[in-house]
Structure 1
Amino acid sequence: MKKRNRRRRRKKSNKMIWITGIFLGIFVLCIVLYIAAQIILSSRGSSPEEILLSYMECISEQKYDEIYEMIDVQSSENITQENFVQRNSAIYEGIEVQNIKIQITEYNETEKTVKYQSSFDTVAGTVSFENEAVFTSGEDGYKLVWYDSLIFPELGADDKVRISSTQAERGQILDRNGKVLAGKGTVSSVGIVPGKLENRDQSIQEIADLLGLTKESIEEKLSANWVKDDSFVPIKTIPKVDELSLSSLSPDEEMLQENERQTKLLNISGVMISDEEVRSYSLGEAAAHLIGYVQNVTAEDLENHPGEGYSSNSVIGRSGIESLYETELKGKDGCKIYIVDSEGNEKTTIAETIKEDGVDIRLTIDSDLQKALYEQFKNDRGCSIAMNPYTGEVLALVSTPSFDNNDFILGMSDEQWTALNENEDQPLYNRFRQVWCPGSTFKPVVAAIGLKTGTLDPNEDFGNEGLSWQKDSSWGSYEVTTLHEYEPVIMKNALIYSDNIYFAKAALKIGADNLMNSLDEIGFNQEVPFEITMAESQYSNTDRIETEIQLADSGYGQGQILVNPLHLASIYTSFLNDGNIIQPYLQYSDNPAGRIWIKEAFSSETVSQVMEGLTGVVNDPNGTGYAAHRDDILLAGKTGTAELKESQEDTSGTEIGWFAVFTADKNAKTPILMISMVENVKGIGGSGYVVSKDKAVLDQYFSE
């Protein structure tokens, strides 16, 4: 009996647990459904105003599927979700809508209408309009009645939104005389009409051979989805044949070869050649490092320059002046967003920005001088700077060897790019922006510092030490060597004979602190104020001149002295401007005037004393720069040879050759200050090699 009762109680207990579980499950389900309902209601908004705000927020986030859930489909002409999403996404994303703002101005509860002011940014500018939204009310709350006019008030169901753009013309880059250095040019575009090809495999191989391409690369272009039998498929851009040049008495050999190549291409069925307007660089290799080049924008460019007016059809400056003045040169494309009816007739303009062509950039560069310097040094690793020493106008900036920036416009093959990068002479390397060991061209700077600090007497005779010298036995086996013996050993003669021993002694007299402080005062360890960023000149690899030997070597431009050529040229302007260092600049002005960078770097008396030696360098028969002497124009300057070697005994090192030369007469008709550097002049005449080439350039410059 007891067992039976326990069994009954157990059954009753199990039944209670089962019933409790059911109710608990129902309770939990109700809570879940309630929360879900609240989320849905919250997302939809509990009022028309809130729904409209949610609607606009979803447009910003491109959540068109969620917007569709907010509308009363039946009252919205039963538009399908697919058509709704397609219509909205095509328009909003096509015109690149951003920064949507909405202000509700009126709500009519009876009519269930909401009036609002809307504005947003587009590819053609800001759009702003007043509009009205209509709602319905039912069991599941308010729903939006959607019509096309919610996108734009003027937009009908059969209308379309169109975008048209007008590309701005890129500004030209001009030299000081208005000659175009970068501007419009014409090239030939070689293309294939696939349906007209005969013996397809053979023809494509012939085309590949003539254009320096692979057969596979051409096949890849011909297999693009858009290509049809009658399509013109561009394959490669090549130079345009100059008919006028061909008809001259002595036609250019390269032009003759190009004409022959294009004739062979046109003899292949299916090949067409058409003219194409491109960016062109008139000086090519002679100014490639200075002018730079443009290329088509990439996806990365578009990502890095949002809202700056670039499109997939734009070009962008990659280097040189093209990059430096990109904002001014590129201009601003025009763009128009408008509505057309079902027949293509324009109904109304939504937004429009007017095209603004890029501005021309006129440089102080003399293209004839630029080309002359390039032609003289094109086979050397080096650079040249030329400027007007009174105004600061930079007349030439040359780096050699060079590359043809037009090749980047024509389309450089992988083979060409690899060849440029693997060339041991580094033609892509911009040498005029770097720092170099200045050798004896630094001696006038040390002389001026010695006079300024009062540590040097220009008339003190340092004594004839022969061709080698050391301060004392603490230097061990290290000695300073020089090439000439002369007397008296005073500053003027030391500059004329380029005496290393004199300037090693001078540096020791000046002292490390005096020398470092003075160099800092004339621009060392700081950027030269110039449009193009130049490497900073230095007097040590650390923050100071560490040893006595390093100090002595610094006196004649070795040790750890490294100088940027433009900076050195700027310092030299002080010798012609009563001790004021003139600031170099590159953008042309109709009324050029010298802008002082460092006022009273040296005194007038100091530069007068240094100039005696610099004038003698070129005009004294014993001077190291006498080969540049002229009878018609008074020149002054300084040669320099810097030895780069592992030790004093090293005979395998290189020698950097320098020549700094300038007109010494303030009344010179065409004043110029020119500095040239060649990385290795060992065995080819030392600095004399540079002097002879600069003389040829000056002969041409002064004859014009």
Structure 2
Amino acid sequence: MTGSRKRRTRRRGRRGGKGLILALVLIVLAGAGMGGASYYYIQARNQAAIPKPDELFVRYVSFLSQGSYGEMYGMLDDQSRREISLEDFVSRNQNIYEGIEAAHIQADIKSVEEPQENIAVVNYQMSLDTVAGAVSFPNQVTFVRDEEGYYHMSWNDRVIFPEFSKTDKVRVYTEKAERGEIYDRNGTLLAGRGAASLVGLVPGKMSAEPGQDMEHLSSLLGISTEGIEKKLGAKWVKGDSLVPLKTLKKVDELNLKSGAPSEENLQDRALQDELLTIPGIMITDTPVRSYPLGEQASHLIGYVQNVTAEDLEKHAGEGYLTDSVIGRSGMEALFENELRGTNGCTVAIIREDGSMNRVLAAIPKQDGRNITLTIDSGLQSAIYQAFKEDKSCSVAMNPYTGEVLALVSTPSYDNNDFILGMSQEKWDALNGDGRNPLLNRFRQRFAPGSSFKPITGAIGLDAGTLDPDRDYGEEGLSWQKDESWGNYHVTTLHNTNPATLEHAMVLSDNIYFAKAALETGYDAFASGLDRLGFNQDLPFEIAVAQSQYSNMERIVTEIQLADSGYGQGQVLVNPIHLASLYTMFPNKGNVMKPRLVHDKDMEPEVWLPGVFTPEITDRIENAMKQVVSSPEGTGRAAYREDLTLAGKTGTAEIKASKTDTSGTELGWFAVYTADPGQPAPLLLVSMVEDVKHAGGSGLVVRKDKAVLDAWLPVAPQ
């Protein structure tokens, strides 16, 4: 064979310029008929060395890795090209390799055999990654040598896969993972598999002249007649097909049979009954993501929606399909990676009759993980019912463990509407509602007003500047330090006499706590707040706004410091942060870390250990007990003879300037069970906006009292 190659080389040398002309002609022919596919051979003909079969196959695999299917075709022998056209070759290879998302294609050549003259067989191990995992298999390919000594690939479908035939196909099957469910601490479903009513239309059962019916259907479903007709005109639709039009809430039959069915449920039934009067309409059950608490927990649980093109681009390679869903807000978004699971995928060779030839690669599906929250859905519902008409938020915790038992923001929206398909009218109504029902208030920060006074008192006691038994003097209802304050005065609602810490706490005396802050001083006051997590991220599963005590790096003026002492000035606090800080009183100076994910084996964790001594927290707690139990206490409306409660009210003015008289007010109440033996301990912090003409913080106290009575029923006498 070596000798024949030399003789041919010498003959090419004698032809001289004719050989070069032939090469140029082949290039032109390749460009016209083979898309430049023979370039590799033409180039080789102008070199001294003839490429070996293994070298050619390496080049073929390189073209395959690049998706250069036309170049691959140019390496085939004449017989192979007679059996498959360039167009069919490119289409078959492209559909298979790109369909299985082939990547990292490699061939490890094991040997080259020459079973007969002019034939070479390359044995190799092929490996590649697919959408269903890695594939590796042994294979072989034959090269045929032409009269001039050059090798060309003898190609058939077995070059793709060893057991592949011309009539076989490669299919990718996806088995969707079930999305994990979300439960409360008692096993009550908060988000998971539910049922809805699918409204569909069977074209063959429509009336002969459906125009009027279509108008009626359009008005009932809020879908244009053009939209309905487009659905009916899809290629797959036949006379007996059920064409889905819209998904509606499933009618709660138990609620209808109750003595007082809800108005919403009655409306849902009436709508579906009227839909069924239209010829061709059918209503069937369909599985959907369901949120049983609806508006009672929508800001907490959130919702999922179908992925968009932007989602697919942002999360490329993460297993999302065009019909996947993704968490948009709340727990659904926070735990998206845990909840969504991993889809199963199989790449298989399928015979012409549809039977399975071989599974090439498979990834088993992994259903999403279930999440259990520390939330108690009963308490969540009780708080929502108490505050649903208000612009408010509430945080309920176990003060000894930091477990968050409820997170409520009102007004609210029904997250099920996002699953069923919210109408533009409803979406516009939500966005146009001045009460901001889409705003998650428990993630924001607000002026805490007098609910901040226990913190000011604790900082003053810790700094040694506040004597709890000292009488700060009777100042009436208005006070200023000196004339340098100009026209500005600190005002309060109740005259305090004697002006001691406990009495000032009971009557919520602004003047007393303004003086306390001034005596503490800028640096000690700010240092105390820094120690309590201000201007820091709260260590909590949900990202919330940082609490602050100034818009600048520090408290700037004397008046700002005085106002900060009673929770005004530029002090802004996140409600979850405030609730966490209140845990330091029943825990003797330890601030508990708030928790939202339930784990029965998890031990309570201290976030800020020993921020104050037990003597200081006991002193503040005793004063807060009097806020509730004293007849003159601002939290007296929450008093229960069978419970020891400690708490603090707060009213914060929200105005554009110090002289503004048209501003509104925020009302607060922070209260907790102060008896360590209480079997169901509870700390509840609630904030309501616009209480200026609605009873101030007293409104919040009364609503929290209703919650406490629902959660901790009064013991029978």
TM range (shorter): over 0.9
Pick the aligned partner of 1:94 from 84, 92, 99.
99
**2:80/2:156 contact within 8 Å kept:** no
Pairing 1:691–2:701 present? yes
Pairing 1:557–2:567 present? yes
Segment drifting more, 640-649 vs 440-449: 640-649
Pick the aligned partner of 1:483 from 489, 493, 518.
493
Pairing 1:190–2:189 present? no
Pick the aligned partner of 1:360 from 367, 370, 373.
370
Aligned position for 2:140: 132
1:219-261: CA deviation from partner (whole Å, max 9, x where unpaired): 3323334434443221110012233443444444332322222
State the AA in 1 paired with 2:69.
Y
Q: How does 1:6-17 map to 2 (within 5 A)?
A: none
**1:480/1:501 contact within 8 Å kept:** yes
Q: Secondary structure at the match of 2:438?
A: coil
Q: How does 1:47-446 map to 2 (within 5 A)?
A: 47-75=52-80, 78-108=83-113, 111-138=119-146, 139=148, 141-198=150-207, 199-446=209-456
**2:585/2:618 contact within 8 Å kept:** yes
Pick the aligned partner of 2:461 from 451, 465, 478.
451
**1:44/1:51 contact within 8 Å kept:** no
Tell me the CA shift for residue 668 of structure 1.
0.9
Segment drifting more, 299-308 vs 509-518: 299-308
Aligned position for 1:14: none
Aligned position for 1:646: 656
1:561-617: CA deviation from partner (whole Å, max 9, x where unpaired): 010000011111001111011000111111353200011111111101111211111
Q: CA separation of 1:670/1:47 partners in 2, compared to 1, >3 Å: closer, same or farther?
A: same
Question: Number of paired residues?
Answer: 679
Tell me the CA shift for residue 462 of structure 1.
1.0
Tell me the CA shift for residue 195 of structure 1.
3.6
Q: CA separation of 1:358/1:480 partners in 2, compared to 1, >3 Å: closer, same or farther?
A: same
Tell me the CA shift for residue 340 of structure 1.
2.3
Tell me the CA shift for residue 35 of structure 1.
10
Tell me the CA shift for residue 281 of structure 1.
0.4
Tell me the CA shift for residue 29 of structure 1.
9.8
What is the CA–CA distance in structure 2 between the aligned matches of 1:297 and 1:84, rounded to whole Å?
Answer: 35
Segment drifting more, 341-350 vs 658-667: 341-350
Regions of 4+ moved over 6 Å? 28-39, 42-45
State the AA in 1 paired with 2:126.
S
Q: Secondary structure at the match of 2:145?
A: strand
State the AA in 1 paired with 2:159.
L
What is the CA–CA distance in structure 2 between the aligned matches of 1:695 and 1:308, rounded to whole Å?
Answer: 48
Tell me the CA shift for residue 466 of structure 1.
0.9
Q: CA separation of 1:501/1:33 partners in 2, compared to 1, >3 Å: closer, same or farther?
A: farther
**1:397/1:432 contact within 8 Å kept:** yes
1:259-287: CA deviation from partner (whole Å, max 9, x where unpaired): 22212212212222221101100100000
**1:438/1:561 contact within 8 Å kept:** yes
**1:188/1:273 contact within 8 Å kept:** yes
State the AA in 1 paired with 2:60.
Y
What is the CA–CA distance in structure 2 between the aligned matches of 1:135 and 1:629, rounded to whole Å?
Answer: 94
**2:450/2:649 contact within 8 Å kept:** yes
State the AA in 2 paired with 1:130.
P
State the AA in 2 paired with 1:137.
R
Tell me the CA shift for residue 77 of structure 1.
5.8
**2:26/2:42 contact within 8 Å kept:** no
**1:469/1:480 contact within 8 Å kept:** yes
Tell me the CA shift for residue 51 of structure 1.
3.4
What is the CA–CA distance in structure 1 between the aligned matches of 2:660 and 2:42, rounded to whole Å?
Answer: 81
Q: Secondary structure at the match of 1:576?
A: coil
Instruction: Give 5+ residue unaligned stretches, structure 2.
Output: 1-17, 31-35, 45-50
**2:496/2:509 contact within 8 Å kept:** no
Segment drifting more, 650-659 vs 241-250: 241-250
Q: Secondary structure at the match of 2:122?
A: strand
What is the CA–CA distance in structure 2 between the aligned matches of 1:471 and 1:631, rounded to whole Å?
Answer: 41
Tell me the CA shift for residue 502 of structure 1.
0.8
What is the CA–CA distance in structure 2 between the aligned matches of 1:443 and 1:303, rounded to whole Å?
Answer: 50
**2:339/2:370 contact within 8 Å kept:** yes
What is the CA–CA distance in structure 1 between the aligned matches of 2:620 and 2:201, rounded to whole Å?
Answer: 68
Aligned position for 1:15: none
What is the CA–CA distance in structure 1 between the aligned matches of 2:132 and 2:262, rounded to whole Å?
Answer: 48
1:43-95: CA deviation from partner (whole Å, max 9, x where unpaired): 98844334333433333333323322222252366211222122222222222
What is the CA–CA distance in structure 1 between the aligned matches of 2:42 and 2:598, rounded to whole Å?
Answer: 61
Tell me the CA shift for residue 548 of structure 1.
0.9
**1:449/1:518 contact within 8 Å kept:** yes
Q: CA separation of 1:402/1:87 partners in 2, compared to 1, >3 Å: closer, same or farther?
A: same
**1:76/1:145 contact within 8 Å kept:** no
1:487-535: CA deviation from partner (whole Å, max 9, x where unpaired): 2111111111111111111111111111112111111111110111111
**1:44/1:70 contact within 8 Å kept:** no
Q: Secondary structure at the match of 1:120?
A: strand
State the AA in 2 paired with 1:454.
G
Tell me the CA shift for residue 449 of structure 1.
0.8
Tell me the CA shift for residue 367 of structure 1.
0.3
Tell me the CA shift for residue 448 of structure 1.
0.6
What is the CA–CA distance in structure 2 between the aligned matches of 1:294 and 1:384, rounded to whole Å?
Answer: 24
Q: Secondary structure at the match of 1:449?
A: helix
**1:191/1:271 contact within 8 Å kept:** yes
Tell me the CA shift for residue 191 of structure 1.
1.5
State the AA in 2 paired with 1:53.
V
Aligned position for 1:536: 546
Query: What is the RMSD of the two structures over their aligned residues, measured on CA atoms?
Result: 2.4
Q: Secondary structure at the match of 2:583?
A: helix
**2:27/2:42 contact within 8 Å kept:** no
Tell me the CA shift for residue 42 of structure 1.
7.9
**1:218/1:235 contact within 8 Å kept:** yes
Segment drifting more, 291-300 vs 579-588: 291-300
Q: How does 1:534-613 map to 2 (within 5 A)?
A: 534-613=544-623
**1:448/1:610 contact within 8 Å kept:** yes
Aligned position for 1:9: none
What is the CA–CA distance in structure 2 between the aligned matches of 1:339 and 1:119, rounded to whole Å?
Answer: 17
1:85-138: CA deviation from partner (whole Å, max 9, x where unpaired): 222222222222223233223233674222222222222221111221222233
Tell me the CA shift for residue 194 of structure 1.
2.7
TM-score (normalised: structure 2): 0.90
What is the CA–CA distance in structure 1 between the aligned matches of 2:54 and 2:42, rounded to whole Å?
Answer: 13
1:183-224: CA deviation from partner (whole Å, max 9, x where unpaired): 111111112223432223222111111112222322332333
What is the CA–CA distance in structure 1 between the aligned matches of 2:55 and 2:523, rounded to whole Å?
Answer: 74
What is the CA–CA distance in structure 2 between the aligned matches of 1:610 and 1:244, rounded to whole Å?
Answer: 50
What is the CA–CA distance in structure 2 between the aligned matches of 1:514 and 1:44, rounded to whole Å?
Answer: 83
Tell me the CA shift for residue 637 of structure 1.
0.5
Percentage of pairs with the same residue: 55
Tell me the CA shift for residue 352 of structure 1.
1.2
